[in-house]
Amino acid sequence: MKVVDHIKNAKKTLFSLEIIPPKKGDSIKNLFDQIDPLMEFKPPFIDVTYHREEYVYKERENGLLEKRSIKKRPGTVGICAAIQNHYHIDAIPHIICGGFSKEETENALIDLNFLGIDNVLALRGDNIKSEREFKPEPDGNAYASDLVKQISAMNRGEYLDDELLNAIPSDFCIGVAGYPEKHFEAPNMNFDLKWLKKKVELGAEYIVTQMFFDNQAYFKFVDECRAIGITVPIIPGIKPVAVQKHLTILPNIFKIDLPAELEQEISKCKDNAAVKELGIEWGIQQCRELIEKGAPVIHFYSMGKSDAIHRIAHEFF
């Protein structure tokens, strides 16, 4: 079922989560062990992140450098198929621009369509760690809006081969990312919102936000979206803080702010166990207000951990 239909049919706020594929060599059982405790909250869908192939250069015995491909977390498509088969709920793969030509993107989407995947989350993706800025593949999509455009074309039966006759349209529900505190590359919020609206006009049917810790940022973001004519569901993304290092790691990686009150309380904590308890309590407060204000879904970023999410979700779902 499509995400927008899950939301339309729901009588209350839904629970969902995002998971990260296990590292190469790990068992999918470990992933299921993380998901199993959360199934009591009846998530209608689970997102699965995609991690692009990268390269490292290693010196050989003769002194020459050898370029080696690394992909520490493969398996997004396979995990989505396993989730749908194992739990009988919808799995949503992240589709990214980086590392794919348009033809490779089309082939991946065809595979997903054959598997009965109804939803995709279209993202530009991050730049390679060794590069200062994002560089698309030759003949690849440069922006998430380009990716949305390609998926929407397939939904109309338009494939890259314009000589293909009687092609069967796909029927993906397309989600995109939104940034309550602005995408870090956007010069201002108005610019960011303009391109978010463009993605919706090209075919995006729902928005999932970057994590945030100040609900007012989300409410303001929703108001600004509605003011410029964005009417699709906007799903808030939540991540409970768990360790002292999150004070610097989360702002650095995700380009977000932590409210002064949260920062001060974390700084008072004597150890990570205390930080975790604080993160759970903060998450409960966030969710309570979001649900009271009618958020369609509470979407949790698990990052491989489920115990704190379970304690927060247990209060509401």
CB atoms near residue 111 (< 10 Å): 13
- Measure the CA–CA gap between 89 and 211, rounded to whole angstroms: 23
- Measure the CA–CA gap between 208 and 177, rounded to whole angstroms: 5
Query: By the 8 A CB rule, do 308 and 280 touch?
Result: yes
End-to-end CA distance of the chain: 21
CA dist 220 to 180, 216, 296, Å? 8, 6, 16
- Measure the CA–CA gap between 36 and 41, rounded to whole angstroms: 10
Which residue reads 């975790």 in tokens? 276
Paired strand residues for 19: 48
Paired strand residues for 68: 56
Token digits of residue 242: 């768990």
3-state DSSP call for residue 238? strand
Token digits of residue 208: 């999932």
- Listed residue (315, 244, 305) closest to 284, CA to CA: 315
Token digits of residue 86: 């194992």
CB atoms near residue 90 (< 10 Å): 24
- Measure the CA–CA gap between 252 and 185, rounded to whole angstroms: 14
**Residues with catalytic annotation?**
18
- Listed residue (37, 48, 34, 30) closest to 84, CA to CA: 48
- The single-letter code of the amino acid at 98 is G
